[in-house]
Structure 1
Amino acid sequence: MSAKEKILDLLIENKGSYISGEELASTIGISRAGIWKNIKKLQNEGHLIDAVTNKGYMLKPSSDVFDEKSIRKHLDIPQDIVNFKILKETQSTNSVAYQMALSGEPEGLVVLSRQQSLGRGHKGHTFYSPAGSGIYLSILLRPSNLSSSKTGLITCMGASAMCRALRDVSGKDVRIKWVNDLFLDGRKVCGILTEGALDLESGLLGFSITGCGVNLYPPKGGFPPELSDIAGSLFDDNVDDGGSRITAGFLNYFFGYYEDFKKGNHEGFLNDYRQYSLIIGKNVKFDIDKEEHTGKVIAIDDLCRLVIQENGEKPYLLEPGKVSIHS
């Protein structure tokens, strides 16, 4: 463990209280100048650390540390269900998880980062993932006997779990926009992307990677112009342990759903998905074979397909990932 990591551990243990530079230097075994140098590094990484002459250093109560210890203390599921790989920065947590899956990593891997340089979204879109403002995570699953046609259910499961976690921690009315986006007050605060690999012999899913990107806090300098009218954040400012509580809450709900999912029971997460849907009862425009239609969403069925009624005709069943919804 580096000196910087040791300093952060001590600050976390004493969160909200000052520790003198002399005490830190003595405990870790480096000079006070070395302490100051590492404190500056931690501050640059986004940790909210007060430095006061004659008092020392304090990790502010509102600092969102977002490390494995902080996440695990909020987990209700058995601790050994998940195996964390936490990164400071990566191109894409989905890409990291995918490569680890190809190398034989078992189910339950959770890759986390506070920054992505090439975050991916649905249909090849990018997901803006700046440092210090979001949660970017991916989960590796190896479900047995699951056909590729049902992978959309995993996305719905992830959306339900994240929606409940965001609502629990924020107390705000976060909703699901079919099929893989979460919205708050008309702005997107989370996107979900599920990717997978097929077993060519069986035609079944070999493994799946479900990635979630959450806009937790406003990015420094704001969102890029092309996103400023679309994207939003869950909170306006740092919340004590916000990232850790949301991550743990998401994992608690997700793996709770997954235990039932493996038994063929989809009712729990689908009912939650419907409850928090933004789209049921709304009129929408949609494309089928490049032809535009208009209809009313009357339901979401047991395969997470939209059931849309157009002019009293037989309802359309729109599958996740195979149609475009305009409004």
Structure 2
Amino acid sequence: MTENKLDVLVLREQLVAPNGPYAALDVVDTTGSTNADLLAAAGDGAADRTVLIADQQTAGRGRRSRTWVSPAGTGAYLSVLIRPATVPAARLGSLYMVAGLALIHAARETAGIEAFLKWPNDLLVGPERKKAAGVLSEVASEQAAVVGVGVNITALPEGAEPGPGGLAAGSFAEAGAENTDRTEITASFLRAFAEFETAWRMVDGDIARSGALAGYREACGTIGQRVRAELPETEPLTGVAVDVDEEGRLLLKLDDGTPKAISAGDVVHLKAD
């Protein structure tokens, strides 16, 4: 069996200036968290569109400080530092949509699998819609943001734990991927992210004008689902997810008919009765 290694020379040749859109790209064997590393690098003056990829993460992070399983040689664990000078700080949070669309591209177009987005930041794959990727976007100082993704590409080790709400863990390979080459899937994501992020940046982070909102709505498997929203410091809410608005909030029609917009929390897709 051929080892499925990340080819840093191929990635640099395809993606780093003058041939590609990125200023720098490094691959390390292991690190705690690529997001944490680039947040530190941002303070040291790292360039716009700097990419850090790890073969393994020992302290990968998700939303709300959750850990992410990042075993060596199995996935794509990377972060991108961007410095969108004209984008208001209040709009930097919408980068999860940009990254989500790039994940959809990599999954559907390069791996050849069925894929959907679960609001706000999960990629679900295959007929069973298992979680194969997540996004973590963090704001750094000096008008900079770091966007990290963790993608399960090859088969997961036995005993992989489910995510919030019992969401089963999955991978591209387990969803029947036609292509599980880690270098190709990583490059596919990064090319798509640069394209979508450029459109987003050109309109100062306006997700509607950039097309990100329309693309996200099309790919979002949460819309139309009966869900339970588990929110910080309040009781859970149940209802039907009806849309995502121009601020990136999930719009619910609660069981009693009341409309509700939520901007943060865990959303569990409920099975039909």
Do 1:217 and 1:238's aligned partners in 2 also have CA atoms closer than 8 Å?
no
**Gaps (5+ residues) in structure 1?**
1-47, 49-59, 200-205
**CA distance in 1: counterparts of 2:239 and 2:253, whole angstroms:** 5
Q: Deviations over 1:59-92 (max 9, x none)?
A: x4xx433222333565599635211011011111
Do 2:112 and 2:178's aligned partners in 1 also have CA atoms closer than 8 Å?
no
Change (3 A) 1:137 1:225: closer
Partner of 1:259: 198
**CA distance in 2: counterparts of 1:274 and 1:211, whole angstroms:** 21
1:325 aligns with 2:264: no
Residue 79 of structure 2 aligns to a residue whose secondary structure is: strand
What value does the CA root-mean-square deviation take over the aligned residues?
A: 2.6
Shift, 1:224, TM fit: 3.7
Do 1:194 and 1:211's aligned partners in 2 also have CA atoms closer than 8 Å?
yes
Aligned amino acid, residue 181 of structure 1: D
Aligned amino acid, residue 200 of structure 2: F
Shift, 1:146, TM fit: 3.3
- Using the size of structure 2 for normalisation, the TM-score is 0.84
Q: Deviations over 1:250-294 (max 9, x none)?
A: 111111111111122534222221111111011112245512322
Partner of 1:233: 171
**CA distance in 1: counterparts of 2:20 and 2:218, whole angstroms:** 31
- Using the size of structure 1 for normalisation, the TM-score is 0.71
Aligned pair partner of 2:102 in 144, 150, 161: 161
**CA distance in 1: counterparts of 2:6 and 2:178, whole angstroms:** 11
Q: Which moved more, 1:165-174 or 1:121-130?
A: 165-174
Aligned amino acid, residue 253 of structure 1: A
Q: Which moved more, 1:269-278 or 1:235-244?
A: 235-244
Shift, 1:240, TM fit: 6.5
Partner of 1:307: 251
Shift, 1:323, TM fit: 2.7
**CA distance in 2: counterparts of 1:241 and 1:225, whole angstroms:** 22
Change (3 A) 1:273 1:240: closer
Aligned pair partner of 1:286 in 221, 226, 229: 229
**Gaps (5+ residues) in structure 2?**
none
Change (3 A) 1:239 1:87: farther
Shift, 1:149, TM fit: 3.1
Partner of 1:69: 9
Q: Deviations over 1:196-251 (max 9, x none)?
A: 1245xxxxxx21111100011124x4244567972111114997671111111111
**CA distance in 2: counterparts of 1:244 and 1:232, whole angstroms:** 19
Do 1:197 and 1:208's aligned partners in 2 also have CA atoms closer than 8 Å?
yes
